[in-house]
Structure 1
Amino acid sequence: MMRLNYFVLNDQYIEGLKKPVKDHVKVNSSSKVTFKSRGYPYCHNVVKPYWFSWGGLPITMEFARKHDLANKWCDITVIDQKGKEWLLPLRHHKRGSSVYIGRPHEFLVVNDLKPGDPIVFELIASGDFPKINFYKLN
């Protein structure tokens, strides 16, 4: 059984966003799957079965706090690997316990995501109109 890392955070500042310290991330120790950063902050996660029924795509709270996404209640543009832009709601629980992208069902299906797939969110714009690139790692 492979053990996957659930997220990676990076702490170097550049132009108001944080730049990764490493230029790539290995998803797990026994895999050759890597993500090569383009210089933007990113986090990665592994698709969970409950994402399909719950109606949310979680963003790690630590990443959300560091990049001013934690208290947002707005739309976020998610750009998939085919270049399609998805305008989805960015939400947070009132107690500040989690941040998530809402209504992701069609996004998950169109991008052929299945439980266990490693994914990366790369924040390319923050502020009032956040924008992220989405990568499914194969």
Structure 2
Amino acid sequence: MWRPIQAFNKRAKGDAYEKVARHYLQKHGLKFIAQNVNFKGGEIDLIMEDGAQLVFIEVRFRQNKQFGGAAASVAHKKQQRIILAAQLYLQKHFGNNPPSCRFDVVAIDGEENHSQLNWLKNAFA
């Protein structure tokens, strides 16, 4: 069956775009903390620090903007899963003393060789 190969290719492509986002954000002064942090009910693509602020980052890629593009694909339900995962991460690592946090989206639209990256700070709360 072709499903496992397609799933692998999709995961590999996702990993590649997360790496692009990570390097872009590091060039803009953010410090890498973790990648692909999973909790029951949600996943966080990247966790980075921007000064004293902890940043939870969702990385999205879309080849075209037919349905609104990469940024629009981070719908309310996806946001809620990311928020839940962030709450669990904060509880695990900081207990009752969490740092200031925000949620960013790195939206990558276009063909692989001609893509446009948009960094949306405070994309949702």
Same fold (TM over 0.5): no
The TM-score with structure 1 as length reference comes to 0.27
TM-score by length of structure 2 reads 0.29
Higher percent of residues as helix = 2
- Structure with the greater alpha carbon radius of gyration: 2
